[in-house]
Structure 1
Amino acid sequence: MSTGELEPFHGIQVPGVCFESGHCVWLLRFTETPTDLPSYTEVWLITPDGGTTLFVDPEEAAATVEEYHAFDEVRGAEIDVALPDQETIRVTVAGDTDLEFDLTHELTPRARALSAMLNATPERVARSRIGAAVGTATLNTLLPANGLRVAGTTDTGRRYRNEPVRVTLGTDASATLDGEDLGGLAPPTRPIAFGDLHVPDRPVVTFGDLFLEYPVK
């Protein structure tokens, strides 16, 4: 197993938006990375029966993503992520499968308190084991995070640490898959996790750095 350094992947993370149909989607939009690709986007689709598909743009990023997570299927796609205002994320995935979803998110009082705490924590403390434990406990106290950890390992055993500068909470969502309406926002129907990364009861949106073990050798 690699023992590479933790390097920052900067952007937006939404670890799980679930719908009444039982489908869940996951968004990672990195605008700065330590890899040869300056930016890339991932959309994960989890079906009601537990199947997982990675959609990635550009497709060349798939090899990097698969170092950290295992999927049943991997597909290149054209992915557009739009932020029409501060409270909306709009995602379109075009290819063999067409997926569209909108998420409304807000800086709720609890999300505001969490963001303030994370930003006030000194870097050396936040990056310690105690800091990670306190951050995880605070996250799960303030938000319905289902045990989501701010630091841990992915499902392939790679280390990660999340250092957001802003956290918001999803309040509404809609989606279609190949033209089929997936219904409204709903909690996951069963526990869903990729290592220490858990799908929360309500979507948690983080803006900032996700540190991942890199390079992988």
Structure 2
Amino acid sequence: MAGERLRFDGWIAGVGTASGTRLVVGHWPRSPFGAFSDVMIEHPDGERVLLAPSRPVADFVAATYRFDRTEVVPVSVTGSVSRSGHMWIVEAGPLHLRLRAGRRTALGRLLTAVPAPLVRSPLWAALCDVPARLLMPGVRTLGRAGPGRREWYGARDLRPVLAADAVLDGVGLGPLAPLDPPVAFGFGSAPRTPALVRVTTTVEIGTARR
């Protein structure tokens, strides 16, 4: 039986750094919590940290994914869009991140043509899961989230991240690098090649385990 479905429309940026710290930024202009952004950090030793802008957002995200530590801090994503791509500036408590994404890829152009109702469908996510894993190891589009929760992703655009500069707790994390090893917040990782993905994410709560 289907449970309550909560839908988030926005962008996910996943980047690795030369230090081994990996960052996943969610920027959600439309969500059940209103507009917000959050950051998931995985350190080289495997410690997983969530930076969330409010306690309700932190509680929801921590119930959906796995973290060793959660911090409620101001989180903002500002940026600009041009013909050549996107520029983001992320401020999240101890983290300052600047990234530049290029023009959409050939796959990104195909994704923009997928109708919105299809993007939101769990059947579409299930159909895309196998090719996504083959094309981008570590990526999943459908799976179990926290207890009693199911989640699926519908990608709507894809752009490569070309450059990133991150400082965490006053220490530079080094140049942009692949997101490797995959992050372990949930059932799937962001792409190994740093990317900015427009996505519709649906979290279904109260689903019976099948």
- TM-score w.r.t. the length of structure 2 is 0.82
Q: Secondary structure at the match of 2:140?
A: coil
Asked whether 1:46 is paired with 2:42, we answer yes
1:10 aligns with: 9
Asked whether 1:213 is paired with 2:204, we answer yes
Q: Secondary structure at the match of 1:198?
A: coil
Paired with 1:120 and 1:81, the residues of 2 have a C-alpha distance of 26
The percent of aligned pairs where both chains have the same amino acid is 25
1:135 aligns with: 128
- 8 Å Cα contact 1:111-1:169 kept in structure 2: no
2:23 aligns with: 25
Give the alignment of 1:92-171 within 5 angstroms: 92-94=91-93, 98-116=94-112, 119-120=113-114, 123=117, 127=121, 129=123, 131-140=124-133, 145-154=136-145, 156=147, 158-171=149-162
Structure 1 residue ranges without an equivalent (≥5): none
User: Number of residue pairs matched?
Assistant: 204
RMSD across aligned positions (CA): 2.7
Shift of the 138–174 alpha-carbon distance from structure 1 to 2, 3 Å rule, reads: same
Paired with 1:136 and 1:164, the residues of 2 have a C-alpha distance of 11
Give the alignment of 1:84-95 within 5 angstroms: 84-85=80-81, 86-94=85-93
- TM-score w.r.t. the length of structure 1 is 0.80
- 8 Å Cα contact 2:158-2:197 kept in structure 1: yes
Q: CA deviation at 1:125?
A: 8.9
Corresponding letter in the other structure for 2:185? F
Larger displacement relative to structure 2 (203-212 or 18-27) = 203-212
Paired with 2:122 and 2:60, the residues of 1 have a C-alpha distance of 26
Paired with 1:31 and 1:19, the residues of 2 have a C-alpha distance of 26
Structure 2 residue ranges without an equivalent (≥5): none
